[in-house]
Amino acid sequence: MSHTERTLQNLINICEDAREFYSDAIDQTSDPEMKRLCRQMADIRKGIIIDLRAYARQNDLKLDEASNTIGGQVNKFLGEHIAKWSDNTDEALIVYLEEAEDRCLHSFQEASNDDDLPLEARRLITEELTSLQKTHDYMKELKMALKNAA
């Protein structure tokens, strides 16, 4: 697997971690607004995965099916269990979802600055980074609002 293939695969896997975590959060919350937010965030990750796969196909790159990363599995496990044991499930979910946003954002930032990737790949990653920065900032603001309300 080439460096570009490994990088794209890693980004897809990280997005899949976040997508699954958001999808699971939909089942854990009873708040309709939180369900809507999680659905929207999961859809954004799905769109990014589709875009990265399309780039790979157009450039004859071979990628595996998306799989969970170890970090994603640990965060998902902790997030699910802490949310179940927490007095405030939504607040606990938001803390872990924001951490998933951090991880995703940092991975895309790193890849966008990787001079070993083709310019077209870095451009695509940078475009996706714009969306991820917005979702990250939103979750961070939501986390801070909940913290300040407490």
- Render pLDDT for 91-145 as a digit per residue (tens, 0 to 9): 777 877 888 888 889 999 999 999 999 999 999 999 999 999 999 998 888 888 8
Taking the C-alpha atoms of residue 112 and residue 124, their distance in angstroms, rounded to an integer, is 8
Give every CB contact of residue 125 below 8 A, 6+ residues apart in sequence: 11, 108, 111, 112, 117
Overall average pLDDT of the 60-75 stretch: 65
Structure tokens at 132: 């991820």
Select the more confidently predicted residue: 91 or 61.
61
Select the more confidently predicted residue: 35 or 86.
35
Structure tokens at 19: 């997508």
Overall average pLDDT of the 30-58 stretch: 94
Query: Using an 8 Å Cβ cutoff, are 46 and 19 in contact?
Result: yes
Q: Is 52's pLDDT higher than 60?
A: yes
DSSP per-residue string spanning 46-93: HHHHHHHHHHHHHTT---PPP---HHHHHHHHHHHHHHHHSS-HHHHH
pLDDT value of residue 70:
45
Select the more confidently predicted residue: 142 or 74.
142
Domains located in the chain, CATH noted: 3-149 (1.20.1260.10)
Give me the percent of the chain exceeding a pLDDT of 90: 50
**pLDDT-derived band at 43, boundaries 50, 70, 90:** very high
**pLDDT-derived band at 88, boundaries 50, 70, 90:** low
Taking the C-alpha atoms of residue 6 and residue 33, their distance in angstroms, rounded to an integer, is 36
pLDDT value of residue 82:
54
Q: What is the pLDDT of residues 9-31, one digit of tens each?
A: 999 999 998 898 888 888 888 88
